């Protein structure tokens, strides 16, 4: 059993190797308070030193503070050294491995990036650092563009302001995709070795190179091509609002759309410049209530046709359209709605040019994209949750996941990209407008062509983490015959894995009425997540919409009853 004295010894050992004066002072204050009997300080030390931040397929992510269970310079240096050891162990004979490193505008992002570059260089890896804070998609692009062995992006994406993170990509056969098993576990082993066997203060630091502006220019040029050959007449240019959500997206976004021929939009000035405190939003995530309020206000004042939003590292895209029934006067499209219409755009282009390709989305995304693929005779693939899986689909032409992640140009990048997705969306809106139509009209046409798909999520937050495996076990052991009055045709348990998926703690119900229900634990929060999808294909649009909404509600109540909620 670890005693309080043991924890105090761990704190002193940590202070001995910590290069950050701020976190050293933080730990000294906690240690002094704990030794004086402060129970809060004792609990804080126990929480920070009883375990480490887990390094997995999402890399690292956590609150910025001192200790192994937080994001700080020691943890980042250990991660950099562990990744370097992994790359050196797996390098081709006679070839020096290389890494490209990017960072966003969050607190300590640049510091963490420079530490990474110096440590990896000191261990023998060629390190190339982005010249300034830039979007995650540029980093992902650069891994392929520079034929690097790996990439590191220092970002916590759309997490709260207190957080930062460390996302890892691999080059070579991985083509610049995010890490998956077994690479994540092998890298984690090396990080643990560094953490237990080395003092980071004694690691050699080397020199690194700054990535040339031409790499960024190439990203801008290639992403602008997503717009296609659509003529952009002034009369059909969409009048839209853009928000960077206090992140790093605007400079690159503006350069790309200008290159593609679009007029630069009006911006939400309060959110346009990177600000690590994210002062205007509680959570810098366009999915969160209130995050788009400033954009809604500006759109109402200027009568905008569209709102376009990136998250802080610009790998996600949110879009809102005018809607007189919405309280704000605009309605944000769901990730599934936007994913479906962007997939439809890809399918039509493949058909027009007589090309093949695969459409793909994560298993918790709507079945709408599979209907598009079937309609056009294209291949379709489900993947596990996470873009690390979507981006790896063979012959991928387009992929998305419902959490606002879209990949419209897999020949250029192998990760979700909120900037290229925005270019595709603006091109579609311009085409529609030139034909006297709107995005809202297009969504209605989708419903009448493929069926009206509707989705709903239920998140069950727990205080006791053991509740989640108990609920999953109960569902597995007593498989229901009905949910909300609809018969269960099949129940797929992905825990053992199959030819399509590696093992994953996911249950998938297919119901007699064509509905689908997914149940899985959250990968980042103490939640059980339930995804319900229905489709209505009979009657006019009003009937389809009403029917889908009614069935969603019925199935949601059925799942709550099944789980005893």
CA distance 535 to 531: 14
Which CATH superfamily, name and number, covers 53-211?
Answer: Alpha-D-Glucose-1,6-Bisphosphate, subunit A, domain 3 (3.40.120.10)
CA 491 vs CA 477, 482, 498, 518, 534: distances in Å? 12, 11, 14, 10, 16
What residues does each domain of the chain span? 1-50, 53-211, 213-450, 451-562
Q: Are 53-211 and 213-450 in the same CATH fold? A: yes
Burial class (CB in 10 A: 0-12, 13-18, 19+), 518: buried
* Environment class of 557 (CB within 10 Å of its CB; exposed 0-12, middle 13-18, buried 19+): middle
Cβ neighbours of residue 472 closer than 8 Å, sequence gap 6 or more: 505, 507, 519, 521, 528
Q: Would you state the CATH architecture of domain 213-450?
A: 3-Layer(aba) Sandwich (3.40)
Taking the C-alpha atoms of residue 378 and residue 356, their distance in angstroms, rounded to an integer, is 7
- Quick one: the chain helix, strand, coil %, rounded to 5? 45, 20, 35
Contact 152, 101 (CB under 8 A): yes
pLDDT of residue 459: 87
Give CA–CA dist 201/484, Å, rounded: 60
Locate tokens 């899985």: which residue? 520
Q: Could you read off the pLDDT tens digit of each residue along the chain, which spans 565 residues?
A: 688 888 999 999 999 999 999 999 999 999 999 999 999 999 999 999 999 999 987 799 999 999 999 999 999 999 999 999 999 999 988 899 999 999 999 999 999 999 999 999 999 999 999 999 999 999 999 999 999 999 999 999 999 999 999 999 999 999 999 999 899 999 999 999 999 999 999 999 999 999 999 999 999 999 999 998 766 777 788 999 999 999 999 999 999 999 999 998 999 999 999 999 999 999 999 999 999 999 999 999 999 999 999 999 999 999 999 999 999 999 999 999 999 999 999 999 999 999 999 999 999 999 999 999 999 999 999 999 889 999 999 999 999 999 999 999 999 999 999 999 999 999 999 999 999 999 999 999 999 999 999 999 998 888 887 888 888 988 888 888 999 999 999 999 998 877 778 888 999 999 999 999 999 988 667 789 999 999 999 999 999 999 999 999 999 999 988 887 7
Question: Contact 149/129 with Cβ under 8 angstroms?
Answer: no
* Half-sphere exposure in the Cβ direction for 334 (13 Å, CA): 15
Per-residue pLDDT, 299: 98
User: Which residues does the annotation mark as catalytic?
Assistant: 157
What pLDDT shows up at residue 240?
97
Q: Give pLDDT, residue 325.
A: 93
How far is the C-alpha of 239 from the C-alpha of 260, rounded, in Å?
A: 16
**Two structure tokens written together for 283:** 């959570």
Residue 362 near residue 386 (C-beta atoms within 8 A): yes
In angstroms, what CA-CA distances link 66 with 35, 49, 154, 235, 437? 18, 9, 17, 55, 55
State the residue for tokens 């309020």. 293
Please give the model's pTM, rounded to 2 decimal places.
0.95
Domain 451-562 architecture: 2-Layer Sandwich (3.30)
> Residue 524 has what pLDDT?
64
């Amino acid at each position: 059993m670890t005693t309080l004295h043991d924890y105090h010894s761990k704190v002193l050992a940590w202070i001995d190797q910590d290069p950050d004066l701020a976190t050293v002072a933080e730990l000294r204050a906690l240690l002094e308070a704990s030794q004086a009997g402060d129970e809060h300080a004792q609990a804080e030390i126990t929480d920070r030193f009883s375990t480490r931040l887990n390094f997995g397929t999402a890399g690292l992510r956590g609150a910025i503070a001192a200790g192994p269970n937080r994001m700080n310079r020691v943890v980042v240096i250990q991660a950099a050294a562990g990744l370097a050891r992994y790359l050196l162990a797996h390098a081709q004979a006679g070839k020096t491995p290389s890494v490209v490193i990017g960072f966003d505008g969050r607190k300590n992002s640049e510091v963490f990036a420079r530490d990474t570059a110096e440590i990896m260089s000191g261990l023998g890896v060629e390190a190339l650092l982005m010249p300034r804070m830039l979007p995650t998609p540029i980093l992902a692009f650069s891994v392929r563009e520079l034929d690097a062995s790996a990439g590191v992006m220092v970002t916590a994406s759309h997490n709260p302001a207190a957080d930062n993170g460390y996302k890892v990509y691999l080059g070579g056969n991985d083509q610049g995709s995010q890490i998956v098993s077994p690479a994540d576990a092998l890298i984690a082993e090396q990080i643990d070795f560094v953490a237990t066997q080395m003092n980071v203060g004694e690691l050699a630091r080397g020199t690194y190179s700054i990535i040339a502006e031409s790499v960024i220019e190439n990203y801008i040029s290639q992403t602008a091509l997503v717009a296609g050959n659509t003529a952009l007449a002034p009369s059909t240019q969409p009048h839209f609002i853009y928000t960077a959500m206090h992140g790093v997206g605007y400079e690159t976004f503006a350069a790309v759309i200008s290159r593609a021929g679009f007029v630069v939009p009006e911006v939400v000035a309060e959110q346009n410049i990177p600000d690590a405190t994210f002062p205007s939003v509680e959570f810098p995530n366009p999915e969160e209530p209130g995050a788009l309020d400033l954009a809604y206000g500006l759109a109402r004042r200027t009568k905008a046709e569209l709102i376009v939003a990136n998250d802080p590292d610009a790998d996600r895209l949110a879009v809102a359209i005018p809607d007189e029934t919405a309280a704000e006067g605009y309605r944000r499209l769901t990730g599934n709605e936007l994913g479906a219409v962007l997939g439809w755009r890809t399918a039509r282009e493949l058909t027009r040019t007589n090309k093949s390709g695969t459409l793909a989305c994560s298993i918790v995304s709507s079945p709408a994209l599979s209907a598009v693929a079937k309609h056009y005779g294209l291949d379709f693939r489900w993947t596990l949750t996470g873009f690390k899986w979507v981006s790896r689909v063979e012959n991928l032409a387009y992929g998305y996941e419902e959490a606002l992640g879209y990949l419209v140009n897999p020949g250029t990048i192998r990760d979700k990209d909120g900037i290229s997705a925005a270019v595709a969306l603006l091109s579609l809106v311009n085409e529609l407008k030139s034909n006297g139509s709107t995005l809202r009209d297009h969504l209605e046409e989708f419903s009448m062509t493929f069926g009206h798909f509707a989705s709903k999520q239920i998140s069950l937050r727990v205080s006791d983490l053991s509740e989640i495996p108990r609920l999953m076990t109960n569902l597995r052991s007593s498989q229901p015959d009905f949910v909300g009055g609809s018969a269960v045709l099949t129940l797929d348990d992905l825990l053992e894995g199959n030819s399509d998926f590696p093992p994953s703690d996911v249950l998938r119900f297919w119901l007699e009425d064509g509905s689908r229900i997914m149940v899985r634990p959250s990968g980042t929060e103490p939640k059980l997540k339930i995804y319900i999808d229905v489709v209505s294909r009979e009657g006019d649009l009003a009937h389809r919409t009403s029917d889908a909404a009614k069935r969603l509600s019925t199935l949601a109540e059925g799942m709550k009853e099944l789980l005893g909620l």
